[in-house]
Each structure stands twice: as structure tokens, then as C-alpha cells.
Amino acid sequence: MKRLTLEKIAELAGVSRATVSRVVNGHPNIRTEVRERVQKVIDETGYEPNRAARSLASNRSNIIGVFKPLVGGTDLFIDPYYPKLINGISHECNQLDYVLSLFIFRNREEERTKFNQIINSGLVDGLILTASVADDPYVPILQKRGVPFVMVGRAPYDSSASFIDADNIGGASTAASHLIRTGYKRIACISPESRTTVGQDRLGGFLKAFEDRQVPINRELIVEGDFTFASGVSAMRQLLPLKPDAVFAGSDAMALGAMQAIQEAGLKVPDDIAVVGFDDFPAASNAVPPLTTIRQPVEESGSMAVRTLVDMIDTESREARGTILPVELIVRKSCGALR
């Protein structure tokens, strides 16, 4: 059979077309014997329901959109974070029979225009937003329109949006505490950009470690990057004249950039300056020396964002829910042993 229809499945199962339609769409009021008979025919014939027809009947598209706003220097095709995140999102969409649609943009005007088209067209059943900034302009629009959405990354403080995030505060605090315990005295920080919630939380966690241990912090040793390798190089060059003996970088990319700047200056990691990052992407373990870092569960964040969003869609609930996933300190040779 080259083209199977509801009518043909109904004929083979000895039921009406309407009964087959109810079985395909998960209608609860079907006798078990009838449901099993129809499902047996579907399984034996390999019938796949017409997605477009099902969308019309259910007023759903079964499409989840991933919307990545333009933030800082991060690039979807360069930053190793996004392939891992999208892999987790894609896997969970496949498991739950949703189609994934990825929206990326070249400039702000294109981003604003396309965003309005996406939410006005009914193309997607819900959205996953990445790379949150503290003054995210899209959150209030989605809330006002009643569009189901989940953020990967903490929602802004004044928002009641649902989100999935790694424990950025706890992870950065653990990294700084490790450097303090190891005996370093002039500990610098390359913080992700402060307008992002990730940047705010990782800097906040770094400072918290000093406050908790009542250790003075030299604010001159704190500079800002934008998650990229190049910004890590630039930030470390600013810090070198201040003679830090250790640096925590709020992303692995920036940490690896810092290591390059240190080595270009004729210094050694960790003999002269210890380095700790945040992410634990593959490049961290392959660095020379291997990078001590905070491991975050990126793929799990993507999977959980999909599960949360689908539950919101199915239950028609807009009640905000937030999930913080645990992180782990991975100790390697870029940070010296206890002194």
C-alpha cells in the first residue's frame, strides 16, 4: 500500500473512519477491544497519521520552537554550549513526537520582526528561549499573549517565567572556594557579561565564596568577557599587570583564552597562574594543561526544558516553575595542588 488513509485503516479494522480518528488522536472513550484492533492494523501496515490533518483537527502544530536571541559574542555554530543543548532538546522532542524548529537571526531588526511572526502565526505550540538577559524584551510579550514558553537559563528576577538552569551561583562559589582553599591570594575573575542572568549569577557566586569565608576581594581583579575565547584572551591581558596568581573564568571558552594569554606572556599554568573555568566541554579536558572546571548538565537542561514545556501545553497551565540542576567541580592540572 503506497498511500494509507483513515478510510483504508477503518476498512481493514472493521470500524468507522471516525473510530480510527479517535484512536489515532488518543480519545479516551474507546473500548479496549476496539482500540487494540485498530492499533494492530496500524502497527501491521506501518500507517503514519497525516500530521497536517491532525494539526487542523487538534488546533496544534506539534512543533516546538527554539528561539535564540542575539546576545553578546556567542555564536550558535561556534559556541560548544549550543550543540549540546540542541541535542538534548532534539532528543526529547523525538521521544515525545514533537518537531523541532530552530530560529536564529543575523541582526536585531530581523530578530524582532521574526519573533512577532512566530508568535502571531500559530506555527509553534510553544517556545524554548535561550541566552536570557536581565531585561529580556520577549518574556513580557509571551506572558501577555499566553504563549507557553520555558527559558533555558534563569528568568529575570522580576519575571514569573518558567525556567531550567544550572546552579550557576553554587558552581561559581565552589570554583572560587576551591582556589581559596588551595591557597591562592590574588584571585581574579573573568565574568560573563553582566546583562545576562548567567553572568550575574556566576559573578554573584564568585563573590559569595569570599563573603562566606570572610576573605577580602580586590575588585580591580574582576573584568568582564562575553563567553568567547577572544574575550578571555583580552580580559587576561588586562589582568596580567595586576599580577593575579589565579583566575576563575565564567566559561570554558574564556578560561582557555585566558590560558593562551598567560602562555603568550611567558608564564605557566598553573605554576604562575592557576585557571578554573565553567562548563566542562570537551576542549577543557584536551587543553594543555587540562582545565579544572565546573561541569554543568547542558543536554539534561535541554531535555527537561522540552518535558516542562510539553506538560504546560498538555495541561494548559501557565503557572511558573523553575528547576535548578546540580553542577560538579572537575579538578584537573590547570589548578595546582593544595599549598
Q: 279: closest CA among 259, 298, 260?
A: 298
pLDDT digits (tens, 9 = 90+) for 36-49: 898 888 888 877 76
- pLDDT 10s digits, 280-332: 999 999 999 999 999 999 999 999 999 999 999 888 877 888 999 999 999 99
CA distance 55 to 179: 55
pLDDT reported for residue 120: 78
Read off the pLDDT of residues 154-166 as tens digits, 9 standing for 90 and up: 877 667 889 999 9
* Pair 105, 65: CB distance under 8 Å: no
Mean pLDDT check: name the lowest of 113-122, 185-194, 196-205. 113-122
- Has residue 56 got a pLDDT over 50? no
Percentage of residues in the chain with pLDDT exceeding 70? Answer: 89
pLDDT at 265 over 90: yes
Domains of the chain: which residue ranges? 6-58, 63-166+298-325, 168-296
User: Contact 193/225 with Cβ under 8 angstroms?
Assistant: yes
* pLDDT at residue 201 in the model: 95
Per-residue pLDDT, 6: 75
pLDDT at residue 294, rounded to an integer: 98
Separation of alpha carbons 31 and 126, rounded Å: 32
Least confident of 53-67, 99-113, 202-216, 238-252: 53-67
pLDDT at residue 57 in the model: 52
Mean pLDDT score of the chain, rounded to an integer?
87
CATH (one of 1.10.260.40, 1.10.10.10, 3.40.50.620, 1.10.150.110) for 6-58:
1.10.260.40
The x, y and z cell numbers of residue 264, run together, are: 603568550
pLDDT number for residue 49: 65
Q: From residue 48, give the alpha-carbon distance in Å to each of 24, 54, 101.
A: 9, 11, 21
Tens of pLDDT, residue by residue over 214-250, are 999 999 999 999 999 999 999 999 999 999 999 999 9
pLDDT band at 106 (very low <50, low <70, confident <90, very high): confident
Sheet holding 149-152, edge to edge: 99-103, 63-67, 126-130, 149-152, 162-166, 322-325
The whole-model pTM stands at: 0.80
Checking if the pLDDT of 175 tops 60, the result is yes
CATH number of 168-296: 3.40.50.2300
Q: Is the pLDDT of residue 17 over 50?
A: yes
pLDDT class of 132 with cuts at 50, 70, 90 = low
3-class DSSP assignment, residue 144? helix
Q: What is the pLDDT of residue 2?
A: 46
Q: Which residue has 595586576 as its cell numbers?
A: 242
6-58 shares its CATH topology with 168-296: no
pLDDT above 70 (res 27): no
Instruction: Give the β-pairing of 322-325 and 328-330.
Output: unpaired
Superfamily per CATH, domain 63-166+298-325: Response regulator (3.40.50.2300)
Q: What is the 3-state secondary structure (H, E, C) of 226-286?
A: CCCHHHHHHHHHHHHHHCCCEEEECCHHHHHHHHHHHHHCCCCCCCCCEEEEEECCHHHHH
